[in-house]
Structures are given as structure tokens and as C-alpha cells.
Amino acid sequence: MWKEGRSEIVKALKHDRLDRINGPAASGTHYLESAREALASAERELSYNPTLAYTAAYEAARKAASGLLAQQGLRASGGGHHITVLESVNAQFGDDFAPLRTMRMRRNQLEYPTVPGDTPDATESAQAIAWAHQMLDVAEALMPQLTRFEP
């Protein structure tokens, strides 16, 4: 059983920010497959549409993180589920998922712009892709170590 970040996960369950899941849903494998597909899309779009590449890289990283939670029989619920995923993986797996916070904030700026034309260039999107690769690699390495979360 994974012990790091235990109190934060218990608190999120208590406040209905995380739900328990069972059966086939409690497997992170399909999340990691989807993350790989999103990452491939990000790489294809990098030179054509850096904004789409950044968004796809963020989705890949978020799905990798969600896969770790699913493997533990957990799923973010209610409003603010992206932040719940971010906080849950940061509490449990630390610095490996720290770039997810930056990526989420930037993705929100792109999704809900306040400054017209504030778009990432290829260099910024390439950095997001590199972070997503790192987080996916970490998720793939952690997955076999995870069991159902029990308070």
C-alpha cells in the first residue's frame, strides 16, 4: 500500500473530491494508453499548432496522473476535478508531478484567455511535451507498485 500523502487522500475522500471505483474502472492502464495517444498528438501538432500541442501535452500528463489514481481505486469527482488530480498526485508522488501545476495554469490561460494572442510558441509547447513524457514515464514505473487505496 502506498503511504505517502495518505492524509491528503483521506481528506479528499471525506470531502467528496475523490470517489472510490471498482472493477475494470479501477485500472490505470487505459488512462496511460490515452496519455500516450495525447502525447503523440502533441508531438505531431508542435510545428503546426503549438497551442493545440500544449493542450494535448497537458491532457497527456493529466491522464497519466489520473491513471495512478484509478490504479488505486480512486477517481476525482465533482467540480475542480483537475485540481484534485493534481493535488492528489503531488501529495503522493511529489516532485515528479510538480510541472502539472504549471501546465494546468497555462492550459487554463489558453482555454480562457484574458489577453488576445497570448499563445505558446513551439519552444514553450516542446517544454510541456517533455514534462508530459517525464510524468508518463514515472506513471508507468509506479503503476505496478500501486494497490487499492485503503484508509
| pLDDT tier, 109 (very low <50, low <70, confident <90, very high otherwise) | very high
Domain ranges of the chain: 23-69+94-145
**Comparing C-alpha atoms, which of 86, 92, 96, 82 is closest to residue 138?**
96
Q: Is the pLDDT of residue 151 over 90?
A: no
Q: Is the pLDDT of residue 1 over 60?
A: no
Mean pLDDT of the 19-30 span: 94
Q: Which three cell numbers stand for residue 35?
A: 496519455
pLDDT in tens, 55-86: 999 999 999 999 999 999 999 997 788 999 99
Q: Is the Cβ–Cβ distance between 142 and 72 less than 8 Å?
A: no
Q: Cα(64)–Cα(134) distance, rounded to whole angstroms?
A: 10
pLDDT in tens, 26-46: 999 999 999 999 999 999 999
Which pTM value belongs to this model? 0.94
Amino acid at position 9, single letter:
I
CATH architecture designation of domain 23-69+94-145:
Up-down Bundle (1.20)
Q: Cα(20)–Cα(23) distance, rounded to whole angstroms?
A: 11
